[in-house]
Amino acid sequence: MSADKLRRAADLLRQRAAAATPGPWTVTGQGPGPDSVNRGCGQVWTTNPDLYGGDIAEPSGDCYPRSGYSPRDDMTWIATVGPDVGAGMAAALDRHAEDHSTYDCNDVEPCAMTALADLILAGA
């Protein structure tokens, strides 16, 4: 049933958000020191006032990839979907699961929340 899938995805997001470094997360344009190999590539940092700060993620590959993708854009994306966003997504999935316990919106049209749950669970 779709409600069970939504709840499983919400539980997975909650578990992973709880295990992650507390947010909010932000992206910075360079590494921690003047000799950083990541200068300009971007790093994700926590700005949580209860933590000293520090990087959470940084690019491990070429800072100037030939593929046309930007490591800084990757880091910006990671910072955007930090643990606070994951917890909010879990709450939205839970609310929608309650709706699915009385009716299945997949009967009318493909349900975007069920599709999101499929994506989350596929990456598990």
> Do 97 and 46 fall into the same domain?
no
Give residue 108's pLDDT: 67
Beta bridge partners of 32: none
Question: Which pair of tokens denotes residue 67?
Answer: 């593929």
Considering the domain architecture, whether residues 77 and 29 belong to the same structural domain is answered as yes
Same-domain status, 26 and 66: yes
pLDDT along the chain (124 residues), means of 10: 88 93 81 50 80 73 67 83 92 89 71 90 82
User: Which pLDDT value is given to residue 24?
Assistant: 86
**Statement to judge: residues 34 and 77 lie in one domain:** yes
Judge if 88 and 66 occupy the same domain.
no
- pLDDT given at position 62: 65
Per-residue pLDDT at 19: 92
Q: What is the pTM of this model?
A: 0.76
**Alpha-carbon distances, residue 3 vs 25, 30, 88, 107 (angstroms):** 31, 43, 17, 13
Range of the domain at 48: 21-81
